[in-house]
Amino acid sequence: MRPALGRHLLIVPLLTVLSVFFVVPYANMVAISLMEASHRAAYVPVFTISNYTSLIESGFTWGVIWHTLWLGALTTAICLLISYPVAWQMARANSRTRAALMILVIAPLLVGVLIRTYGWMILLQDSGIINQLLRAMGFAPLHLMYNDTGVVIGLTHVFIPFMVLPIASTIQSIDPELELAARNLGAGPWRSFRRVVLPLSLPGVMAGTVLVFVLAVSSYVIPQLLGGFTVLTVPVLVIHTISELFNWPGGSAFAVLFFVITALVIWFYLRTIGRVTHAG
Amino acid sequence: MQARRLERVGFNVVTTAIYAFLLAPLVIVVLSALNAGTYLRFPPQGVSVRWFVEFAHSRSFMDSLGFSLRLAAIVTVVATILGTMASLWLTRVSGRFRSALQVLIIAPLAVPGILTGIALLLFFYTLGWRQTGLADLIIGHTLICVPYVVLIVGAVLARQDKTLVEAARNLGAGPLRTFWRVTLPLSKGGIICGAVFAFVTSYDDFNISLLLSGVGATPLPIQLFDYLRFSFDPTPAVAGTISIAITALVVLLVQRLIGLDALYFGKK
């Protein structure tokens, strides 16, 4: 029995760290969201649900939540459109080409989100590279930053790798012979894609879309730097409530509420897709 | 056949454009750091190391760079040890407890980093720590770096021949000796890759650090964020170029050691 016991010692350190510094802090945050806010202390240990009720009754809150979900959905849709061809090409390439393409997709992921956002700031500003090029070609400059456009461009760029990798890995497990058979039996490229590849790659699409949506609605840097003060999202407002207004119970309640709403949206999305595919 | 070739060419044009979109901001950051003028213009105003000198003379940027490197080094050591031990455990057990723990280990990557930052800030305050700083950042970063170590080392261990370990044990080697003489040398590549990923994740992290940084404990991304909110010149591009250079090295290293391909598709 001794070796069995000894083996479990391997997990004890990490389990301790995760329990004390991950599980407990989250529970603590939920607890604080149910306490009274105060001007004198971070919170007063008195139970109340007023943090939640005042959020739910406020039209402003719902406006920000709705806008955040909309930006997330738009980003997810554009990411999917852009990532699918890249994923297909990667999955169907020989192993040398695949390694090269993989490097191109993963490299931006390893450069911090802040640096990539800064790159977009240089490109998208009113006096930025894109507008300089537009002017040089005689076009009117575009307003690309400090609005939703800039935020969606930034979010899409940052999260593409999270869409490409799961889709590529499911496409790779589809037998290429199936596509070839469909084409040889007379199906056009679009039809063979829609009837053969797309349905079989659906698990990858589902994983990718959920991942990108979660990351997009919880992003803070991009709406802050590319949206300026004009684009208000839930993470921006939560951080403002906590670190500038010092209303910890209010900020925690907003974070918990939005977490629950996001989970519901994803549950509804997965259920709908499940139904559609089973019916079709 | 002609039609299919045309399809292929069209398709490759589209994907090339997408790759250009993916790499554009990185290329722009490097160009902007090397550009002589204050703003990047076309045509560029010549190459210069002016902004690198500016960066090296900035006290706040250099302090943050040093702090970020120190933080990432500590987190790498902690995360690699915890993560490797956990991976070894995961390969040796099975059952419901194992799956639950697997979920728990990955969970810090699945929940928004910003949220974990808030939870930790509130928790440390509740504990009575009134000043955030190095210790808080080490804890926060460890949470998000361990999953990478576990995933990568786990992938490498899964490909290993289990009979080698059994053979060592049957020939009389104890568990520790087997680990040092058999398992460790065989999984060295994976452990190094895991450590490298942990280092980069910590070095580049923004979300966890935002609320946990403190006086004299500001990681570089937070310093850059504060700077960019109020001013805009190419000094941050220098930090970006350093970061891109580190990334290029990491990618080459990982590719050489275990191959990125094996990493993300699980099996060949």
Q: Look at residue B143 and tell me whether its pLDDT is greater than 80.
A: yes
| Helix, strand, coil in percent for chain B, rounding step 5 | 80, 0, 20
Residues of chain A with Cβ-Cβ distance to B116 below 8 Å are: 22, 25-26
Query: Does any CB of chain A come closer than 8 Å to the CB of residue B7?
Result: yes
Percent of chain B with pLDDT over 70: 94
**Residue range A184-211: mean pLDDT, rounded:** 88
Whether residue A220 and residue B105 make contact (CB cut-off 8 A), yes or no, is no
Percent of chain B with pLDDT over 90: 47
Q: Look at residue A108 and tell me whether its pLDDT is greater than 80.
A: yes
Whether residue B89 and residue A89 make contact (CB cut-off 8 A), yes or no, is no
Copy the structure tokens of residue B65: 């760079």
Query: Does any CB of chain A come closer than 8 Å to the CB of residue B236?
Result: yes
User: How many contacts, defined by CB atoms under 8 Å, are there between A and B?
Assistant: 231
Which candidate from A6, A24, A111 shows the least CB-CB separation from B123? A24
pLDDT of residue B7: 82
Q: In this structure, what DSSP letter does residue A44 have?
A: E
Q: Look at residue B37 and tell me whether its pLDDT is greater than 90.
A: no
Whether residue A113 and residue B110 make contact (CB cut-off 8 A), yes or no, is no
Whether residue B108 and residue A22 make contact (CB cut-off 8 A), yes or no, is yes
pTM above 0.80, yes or no: yes
Which candidate from B29, B205, B266 shows the least CB-CB separation from A115? B29
* Residue where the block lists tokens 């786990």: B154
Whether residue A119 and residue B25 make contact (CB cut-off 8 A), yes or no, is yes
Amino acid at A163: M
Query: A42: exposed, middle or buried (C-beta count within 10 Å: 0-12, 13-18, 19+)?
Result: middle
More confidently predicted of B40 and B132: B132
Residues of chain B with Cβ-Cβ distance to A168 below 8 Å are: 264-265
Residues of chain A with Cβ-Cβ distance to B113 below 8 Å are: 218
List pLDDT tens digits, range B166-204.
888 889 888 888 888 888 888 888 898 899 889 999 999
B 10-69 residues with CB < 8 A to A: 11-12, 14-15, 18-19, 21-26, 28-29, 32, 39-42
CATH topology of domain A51-279: MetI-like fold (1.10.3720)
pLDDT of residue B268: 34
Give the span between the Cα atoms of A101 and A123, in whole angstroms: 24
Query: Does any CB of chain A come closer than 8 Å to the CB of residue B129?
Result: no
- B126 neighbors A28 (Cβ within 8 angstroms): yes
Q: Which of B22, B23, B21, B31 is nearest to B237 (CA)?
A: B31
pLDDT band at B1 (very low <50, low <70, confident <90, very high): low
How crowded is the C-beta side of B18, counted as CA atoms within 13 Å? Answer: 26
Give the span between the Cα atoms of B55 and A40, in whole angstroms: 41
Whether residue B122 and residue A28 make contact (CB cut-off 8 A), yes or no, is yes
pLDDT band at A6 (very low <50, low <70, confident <90, very high): confident
More confidently predicted of B243 and A17: A17
pLDDT of residue B207: 93
Residues of chain B with Cβ-Cβ distance to A132 below 8 Å are: 41-42
| Cα Rg of chain A, angstroms | 23
pLDDT of residue B211: 92
Closest-CA residue in chain B for A7? B89
More confidently predicted of B3 and A232: A232
**Residue range B62-82: mean pLDDT, rounded:** 96
pLDDT of residue B267: 38
Instruction: Tell me the domain boundaries of chain A.
Output: 51-279
Q: How many residues does chain A have?
A: 280
Cα-Cα end-to-end distance for chain A: 54
pLDDT of residue B86: 95
Q: Give the rounded distance of the alpha carbon of B104 from its chain centre.
A: 20
Amino acid at A97: T
Closest-CA residue in chain A for B204? A112
Q: What is the average pLDDT value for chain A, to the nearest integer?
A: 90
Q: Which CATH architecture does the domain made up of B58-264 adopt?
A: Orthogonal Bundle (1.10)
Instruction: Tell me the domain boundaries of chain B.
Output: 1-48, 58-264
Give the span between the Cα atoms of A140 and A262, in whole angstroms: 39
Helices (H), B35-183: 50-57, 59-92, 96-110, 113-127, 134-158, 162-170, 175-178
List pLDDT tens digits, range A158-167.
999 999 999 9
List pLDDT tens digits, range A33-71.
999 998 878 888 899 999 999 999 999 999 999 999 999
Highest mean pLDDT among A32-41, B42-51, B112-121, B128-137: B112-121
Phi and psi torsions of B58, nearest 5°: -80, 115
Query: Does any CB of chain A come closer than 8 Å to the CB of residue B108?
Result: yes
Copy the structure tokens of residue B148: 């990478």
pLDDT band at B264 (very low <50, low <70, confident <90, very high): low
Q: Look at residue A1 and tell me whether its pLDDT is greater than 60.
A: no
Copy the structure tokens of residue A178: 């199936």
Whether residue B251 and residue A42 make contact (CB cut-off 8 A), yes or no, is no
Give the span between the Cα atoms of A110 and A113, in whole angstroms: 9
* Residue where the block lists tokens 């039209």: A59
Give the span between the Cα atoms of A17 and A59, in whole angstroms: 40
Query: Does any CB of chain A come closer than 8 Å to the CB of residue B180?
Result: no
List pLDDT tens digits, range A121-180.
999 988 888 998 898 899 988 999 999 999 999 999 999 999 999 999 899 888 888 888
Whether residue A111 and residue B26 make contact (CB cut-off 8 A), yes or no, is yes
Give the span between the Cα atoms of A279 and A53, in whole angstroms: 40
Determine which helix (DSSP H) or strand (DSSP E) holds B68, and give its type and residue range: helix B59-92
Q: Which of B192, B193, B202, B194 is nearest to B143 (CA)?
A: B202
Query: Does any CB of chain A come closer than 8 Å to the CB of residue B82?
Result: yes
Determine which helix (DSSP H) or strand (DSSP E) holds B256, and give its type and residue range: helix B235-257
